[in-house]
A = this chain, B = another copy of it.
């Protein structure tokens, strides 16, 4: 019986593979990788192939979503297939779908977890994990429709004093990655439409660029300030903090150059 092993590549480059993952890949009959659900800024196919000593096939969104990953499933019925995915492999819904399909077709599955933006951004922020409410993706605005979901999620979390982690949209095919500045513009636009007085130029936010890379940038401040910070290349993420504990205020000031007055509002 075949098997399909989901492997999480982590956040930056091929050296984020674990010792176990390298062993696992070396004994695989076929190796696939996708690079469209997240951006790994240091990743190189050539260096990956050199590290594992094998040929790796890159698969597209089309193959996974329109063709339901049939190429991968077909190979996994005949032998051991590894499927390399940025971050932690089953955070992307599309890969959960592939796993369900595999199990339903009699293919055994395993997961080797990698470092994920989900915990990395929380860790870099210094904010406490259990004080985050639900997270949300800020999508690129469309000419005809802009979703108000990010605004609603932030509002709901703020009412409970909780932090909001905002993932920023990715259009990998167009190599378009939303910046912190663009994300903040979307939020201000939503405020001007919904007018619930949740977001203003004085709202304190935290921008995180290139989490998991050797040169992450983490900066807290008002939207007015953070909009003008040069965060450098993608990927970017955004946090809208809720109520701050003393130590969280300390973290934002010390680790993220946040304004000293954050300490006054902490409790």
Contact = CB atoms under 8 A, between A and B. Distances in A.
A133 interface: yes
Contact of A124 (B111, B115, B129, B247): B111
B128 A93 contact: yes
In this complex, which of A96, A103, A123, A131 has the most chain B Cβ atoms within 10 angstroms of its Cβ?
Answer: A123
A20 to B, nearest CB: 4
Given A160-B156, A247-B96, A254-B100, A91 B113 contact: no
Contacts of A18: 10, 15-19, 115
Nearest to A122: B91
Interface string A201-212: 000000000011
Given A110-B214, A116-B119, 13 more contacts: A19-B19, A19-B22, A88-B120, A91-B129, A96-B251, A99-B251, A100-B254, A103-B255, A113-B115, A115-B115, A115-B116, A116-B118, A130-B136
